[in-house]
Structure 1
Amino acid sequence: MSSQLKSNAKGAGSLVAQVRERLRSEILGGQYAPGDRLPSEIELTETHGVSRTVIREAVTGLRYDGLVEVRQGAGIFVLKPNTPQPLSSRLDTARISSDLEVLEVRTPLEIEAAGLAALRRSPAQEEAIFECHARVLKCIDANESIREADLALHMAIAAATNNPLFMQFLESHSASAIPQSKVVADDHGADQTAYRRLIHKEHQAVIVAISDGDEKAARAAMQQHLRGSQVRYRDLLRELRGVSAS
């Protein structure tokens, strides 16, 4: 089965989707019950015949779906599937405040990561960053959520620092690390698309600077991107609380 995955896949994105859907089917089909621990990351790479990066991205997708949680030092555990909640209940001020806290911590770390990536990235890591950027655009063109692809891009930049602690931070906060797709409601199609393209443009400035090896420009572009995310989230927080900008 693993060889079939390899032969059919056209890239890392398709491999991630295949592994994610296979694990999702196994969880929802009852092969893994709530509370069960999934096989280790190494075991999953052997079972599915893919890299550890693919497994991590697939697990990240399952975390977004509320199907698993990663417990540091213990493994990946299956959660009881949640009934989807209305957008109004998900967009509560407590959740947004928490997202803002993560954004504030991310900002100095990812500014440093962007600068280090510009200095340290290997050719393979640079290609991975561009591939992730292309995946974001593909999601936009398909009118799909960019959240998972967005996180993968930031993870690729973190990996290019060649300091594993940057990736570990994003992995440990992945559930709230990329909150921006919730700023515009899903039923506002044109606004959502425009918002996603703005994010894509900000990303592009970061990755071009990294590709050019321009540490200063990479830091500046990442700062603009994450500071902008904070501003947009604070605007949403004020709107939900009925506070005008005047």
Structure 2
Amino acid sequence: MAFNQVKPLKGYELVMEQLKASILSGAFVPGEKLASVVDLATTFGVGRSTIREALSALKAIGLVEIRQGGGTYVSAELPNEPSDGSSLFARAQSIRELLEVRKILETGCASLAARNRTEADLQGIREELLHMETYLHDEAKGEEADVRFHLKLAGATHNSLLISMMESLSERLHDSMRESRKLWFYGERAEARRLLGEHSDIFEAIRGQREEQAFEAMQAHLGKVEAVLHKAIAEADLEERFDPAKGGE
């Protein structure tokens, strides 16, 4: 008889599954605030990073809301059919590949936008920067403004092929930014303003028509996102290797 290989769950996946079951069973009611990361870590006997990853996974499937500085709450409206719980890192390879494409495509867009931008282009890009600042603590709206920033930047190249390529990636761009912003805020716990600052650097280089600087600012921004991704994956792998419960090293 042939058997399928069994893939052991990581620590955060075990925590996520227990919390998910509690939410779906009604042990936690919609709108209820969960215990703090510190308290949950103590309850489950795991590190805080494991709890954060579990909460991020629950957020990704619509079961909880994470309010920056305000704790974690069970979603007021639970999804009718929660997904199978694919975690923040389950699509890591896909995110990494998209980031590689973005580094090639968007660094060129930034450079060309610096050369070809008009005052109308600058106004449009500036508007999205202001939206990002307004919604620093609203992840969904901040993400939407982030995507629009990059699309309007592509529009400033006035190259129809580049614009078309960026628009064709629009849905994937949303997915990439959603996941990388989760990693940014919950993996590295960086301040939202740091992300805004990197976009401001890109904008200022484009406004000053400094092509090389615009290229480098975009490269630095996407390189930072990629580094956070690699770090989060490495930490998750290390945690699994050294988890005594799984017979790790």
Per the normalisation by structure 1, the TM-score is 0.58
C-alpha distance in 2, partners of 1:219/1:144?
26
Alignment partner, residue 87 of structure 2: 90
> Any idea what SS the aligned residue of 2:86 has?
helix
Equivalent residue for 1:129, pick from 94, 107, 125: 125
- 1:97 counterpart letter in structure 2: Q
* Cα gap change, 1:182 to 1:84, in 2 (>3 Å): farther
Alignment partners' CA distance in 2, 1:232 and 1:214: 27
The reply to whether residue 148 of structure 1 matches residue 144 of structure 2 is: yes
Match of 2:198, SS? helix
Q: How many residues align?
A: 160
Q: Does 1:181 align with 2:177?
A: no
SS at match of 2:120: helix
CA deviation after TM superposition for structure 1 residue 82, in Å:
7.2
The answer to whether residue 198 in structure 2 is matched with residue 210 in structure 1 is: no
Q: How far apart in 2 are the matches of 1:171 and 1:121?
A: 18
Unaligned 5+ segments in structure 2 are 1-59, 62-78, 241-249
Cross-structure match for 1:120: 116
Q: CA deviation at 1:138?
A: 1.1
Cα pair 2:184 2:228 within 8 Å, conserved:
no
Cα 1:208–1:82 change in 2 (3 A) is: farther
**2: CA distance, partners of 1:163 / 1:85:** 39
Distance in 2 (alpha carbons) for counterparts of 1:180 and 1:211: 26
The Cα shift of 1:243 comes to 6.2
Q: Deviations over 1:94-146 (max 9, x none)?
A: x1110110000110211111011011011101100100111111110x43332
Is this contact kept in 1: 2:121–2:156, CA < 8 A? yes
1:105 equivalent to 2:69? Answer: no
* SS across alignment from 1:124: helix
What TM-score do the two structures reach when normalised by structure 2?
0.57
State the one-letter code of the partner of 2:196. Answer: H
Which residue of structure 1 lines up, in the alignment, with residue 226 of structure 2?
230
Q: Does residue 139 of the first structure (1) align with residue 135 of the second (2)?
A: yes
State percent identity of aligned pairs: 31
Deviation at 1:237, TM superposition (A): 1.4
Change beyond 3 A, Cα 1:224–1:185: closer
Counterpart Cα distance in 1 of 2:154 and 2:146: 13
Is 1:239 the counterpart of 2:240? The answer is: no
Cα separation, 2, equivalents of 1:82 and 1:120: 47
Aligned to 2:8: none
CA RMSD of aligned residues (A): 2.9
Query: Match for residue 217 of structure 2?
Result: 221
Q: Please give the alpha-carbon distance, in whole angstroms, between the structure 2 residues aligned to 1:127 and 1:200.
A: 17
Rg larger for: 2
Q: What are the ranges of 5 or more consecutive residues in structure 1 without an aligned counterpart?
A: 1-63, 66-80
